[in-house]
């Protein structure tokens, strides 16, 4: 197995020898949890664009990654935070991404696709009104429904700016939910993922905000498939899960505690819509397959070592987690470069990437250790480290 020198705390280098990868068997029956991976996008590194300003997408590689996810039995949550939505990916490009994904999904009978609808084409300024926010949501929801897509109703930065009270959130969501053709997934993205969303639902206190969200869902249960909360707090997720109307799912967005939240307790469980499932898709698929067979021990054996990796990838500042997700795809040969929309490959340090490499290896997630080590040496050399 290859050995390379990697940075450790204190500015030193230490040798690290990889271990053989784990074999993650394909699921042999349908999952008993709904599971989406929030998928990243792959930019075209040869495009004549300014990467901080324009997003030039390598559509072939981006679609190949989605086929990889579907082949493992997981759904794709499209054009969301992991795809750098509103963080380099604008609405026109996101809509094209959604269209291409829906077309590609036709080759996978039963493939799950959820498509993010938001208001990111509406600049969050002081002059924006609640009616402007409603019209912006309507525009994106209509565009996705015309393509035959199912909506993930994303949180709105513009709504945070425009809202004067929790009642304004209720007005917006009631209006949009009254119009959608199919039940949606409501996404409550916490401020640790996007600081501009602090105070969503009209309260900075998450438990007070939760009351508003639950009331909105309870008033529109037939229009809500589920709610995904990304607060990285299992207690808050469980509390909300137990308060949802019957038939409304909780989709965990907790990349710190997903294994136990999906397994559930005597009062219920969470389905999954997770960014980390992009990075650990083979393990997630194998674990969910084991769980569906009633093999809880294997489920835990597979997922337990992925949790330290996920907590590292999503550590504060959490909004930079996409860097680690894309780095995993690069190490595993799912794309041939470590370039990101908006230049976000620079958002994490060499020390952070070195620890990610070690944790991924410990979880058995480096599919080809020789290739991963060779690529790691390239990235480290680019950052001044002879690995």
pLDDT in tens, 190-227: 999 999 999 999 999 999 999 999 999 999 999 999 99
Q: Among residues of the chain, what percentage have pLDDT more than 90?
A: 94
Q: Please name each of the domains of the chain with its CATH number.
A: 1-21+305-387 (no CATH), 22-297 (3.20.20.70)
What is the model's pTM? Answer: 0.96
User: Where would I find the beta strands (DSSP E) of 39-196?
Assistant: 75-78, 113-117, 150-153, 184-189
Looking at residue 124, what is its pLDDT? 84
Q: Using CA atoms, how far apart are residues 136 and 133, in angstroms rounded to an integer?
A: 5
Provide mean pLDDT across the span 97-110. 97
| pLDDT for residue 96 | 98
Mean pLDDT, rounded, for 105-129: 95
Q: Is the pLDDT of residue 289 over 90?
A: yes
| pLDDT the model gives residue 52 | 82
pLDDT of residue 163: 97
Tokens of 188: 């409550």
pLDDT at 164: 97
Q: Residue 165: CA atoms inside 13 Å, Cβ hemisphere, count?
A: 2
Predicted confidence (pLDDT) at residue 387 exceeds the cutoff of 80: no
Q: What is the mean pLDDT of residues 311-332?
A: 98
Angle, helix 369-382 to helix 321-331, in steps of 10 degrees: 130
Average pLDDT over residues 310-319: 98
Interatomic CA distance for residues 292 and 295, integer angstroms: 7
What is the distance between the alpha carbons of residues 75 and 62, in angstroms, rounded to a whole number?
15
Over the stretch 150-200, which tens digit does the pLDDT of each residue have? 999 999 999 999 999 999 999 999 999 999 999 999 999 999 999 999 999
Of 247, 181, 179, 187, the residue nearest 213 (C-alpha): 187
Report the chain's mean pLDDT, rounded to a whole number: 96
- With b meaning 16 or more CB within 10 Å and e meaning fewer, what string describes 48-58? eeebeeebbbb
């Amino acid at each position: 197995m290859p050995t390379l020198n990697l940075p450790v705390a204190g500015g030193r280098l230490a040798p690290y020898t990889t271990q053989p990868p784990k074999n993650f068997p394909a699921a042999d029956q349908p999952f008993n949890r709904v599971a989406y991976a929030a998928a990243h996008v792959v930019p075209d590194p040869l495009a004549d664009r300014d990467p901080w300003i324009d997003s030039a997408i390598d559509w072939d590689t981006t679609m190949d990654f989605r086929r990889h996810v579907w082949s493992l039995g997981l759904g794709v949550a499209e054009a969301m935070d992991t795809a750098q939505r509103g963080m380099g990916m604008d609405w026109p490009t996101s809509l094209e991404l959604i269209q291409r994904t829906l077309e590609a999904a036709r080759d996978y009978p039963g493939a799950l696709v959820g498509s993010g609808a938001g208001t990111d084409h509406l600049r969050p300024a002081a002059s924006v009104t609640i009616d402007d926010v409603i019209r912006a949501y309507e525009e994106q929801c209509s565009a996705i429904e015309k393509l035959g897509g199912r909506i993930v109703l994303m949180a709105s930065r513009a709504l945070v700016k425009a809202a004067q009270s929790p009642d304004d959130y209720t007005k917006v969501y009631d209006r949009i939910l009254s119009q959608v053709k199919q039940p949606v997934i409501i996404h409550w993205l916490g401020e640790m993922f996007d600081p501009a969303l602090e105070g969503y639902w009209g309260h900075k206190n998450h438990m007070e905000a939760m009351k508003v969200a639950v009331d909105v869902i309870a008033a529109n249960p037939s229009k809500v498939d589920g709610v995904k909360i990304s607060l990285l707090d299992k207690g808050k997720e469980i509390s909300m899960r137990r308060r949802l109307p019957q038939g409304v799912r909780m989709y965990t967005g907790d990349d710190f505690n997903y294994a136990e939240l999906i397994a559930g307790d005597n009062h219920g469980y969470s389905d999954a819509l997770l960014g980390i499932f992009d990075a650990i898709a083979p393990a997630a698929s194998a674990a969910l397959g084991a769980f569906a067979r009633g093999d809880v021990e294997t489920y835990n054996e597979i997922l337990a070592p992925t949790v330290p990796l996920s907590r590292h990838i999503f550590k504060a500042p959490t909004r930079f987690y996409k860097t680690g997700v894309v780095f995993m795809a690069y190490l595993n040969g799912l794309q041939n470069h470590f370039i990101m929309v908006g230049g976000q490959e620079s958002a994490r340090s060499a020390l952070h990437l070195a620890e990610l490499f070690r944790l991924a290896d410990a979880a058995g997630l480096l599919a080809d250790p020789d290739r991963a080590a060779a690529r790691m040496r390239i990235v480290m050399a680019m950052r001044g480290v002879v690995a």
